[in-house]
Amino acid sequence: MAGRLAGKRIAVTGAAQGIGLAIARACLAEGAALLLIDRDGDLLAETIAGLDAGTGRLVHGVADIADSAAITKVLADGAAQLGGINALINNAGVNVFHKPLETDEAEWYRALDINVKGAWNCCKAVLPAMIEKSDGVILNIASTHSFTIIPHTFPYPVAKHALLGLTRSLALEYAGNGVRVNALAPGYVETQKAIDFWESFPDADAARKETLALHPGKRIATAYEIAMAAVFMISDECPFMNAACLTVDGGLSQLQHPA
């Protein structure tokens, strides 16, 4: 029986771990052919070894998405191997959290280069073929930081707000060319990055419990839950969804927190 993503040839960035790896597993299980991309070649090799690479539906490439020439080549090579790319999941990103006036120029550019410029580099590389064939879907993994502001997380929300603007701009520009562009905004997700964050506190267990207590359901998402939302948005099950941002945060962003 064909999966929900049969016929999809999907490029996934930041695919070696966390949400990206969960998305890769879910898409592969749903019948997609995949180009997995990460800038950490060693970690990506371990990831590939842990997936079913014997199906002929899995290729990979190493590139930093902020490097336009490098990511364009990896996407072109992957498209040649897969017979084209008709879906892109821009998952790669980086947390850059500071107080605004304590943010140096290097950190400012790191946040924007990876979270916004990198996503645009990938879109720019795949859009021409998608437009030519009137067949394409792009999903940008945004964040609840795309529409909320948490003090001392600058300039991350600046970048994620911009990513949402990029999503909507491209969606409206190319809707008439058979291309859909949407965003998925996770809240807290139990990944290694979250664990590292909790372990930066003197009492990691207390920090974790404090994070969970913020949420109406007193838990946070698993990477699998975010991955299955991505499967839906990249599939043909929602063909009229365009320029949309699906929030998956357990309701946290709807709570009214005291100042």
User: What tokens does 199 get?
Assistant: 């372990």
pLDDT in tens, 3-25: 999 999 999 999 999 999 999 99
**Fold of the 9-186+222-243 domain:** Rossmann fold (3.40.50)
pLDDT at position 259 is: 44
Domains of the chain, residue spans? 9-186+222-243, 190-220
Judge whether residue 160 has pLDDT over 60. Answer: yes
Mean pLDDT on 190-194? 87
8 A C-beta contact, residue 59 and residue 82: yes
Beta carbons within 8 Å of 9's beta carbon, 6+ residues apart: 32, 33, 34, 35, 79, 82, 83, 84, 85, 86, 87
| Residue 248 pLDDT | 96
Least confident of 23-37, 82-96, 133-147, 193-207: 193-207
pLDDT of amino acid 257: 60
Check if the beta carbon of residue 97 is closer than 8 Å to that of residue 153. yes
Distance CA 208, CA 61 (A): 34
Mean pLDDT computed over every residue of the chain? 94
Q: What is the pLDDT of residues 89-139, one digit of tens each?
A: 999 999 999 999 999 999 999 999 999 999 999 999 999 999 999 999 999
174 is catalytic: no
| Residues 180, 137 contacting (CB under 8 angstroms) | yes
Tokens of 75: 């996407």
pTM of the model: 0.94
pLDDT of residue 53: 59
The catalytic residue among 109, 156, 174, 224 is 156
- Token pair listed for 164: 């949402």
The pLDDT assigned to 100 comes to 96
What integer pLDDT is reported at residue 121 of this predicted model?
A: 98
Residue the block writes with tokens 């990206």: 20
- For residue 149, what pLDDT is reported? 87
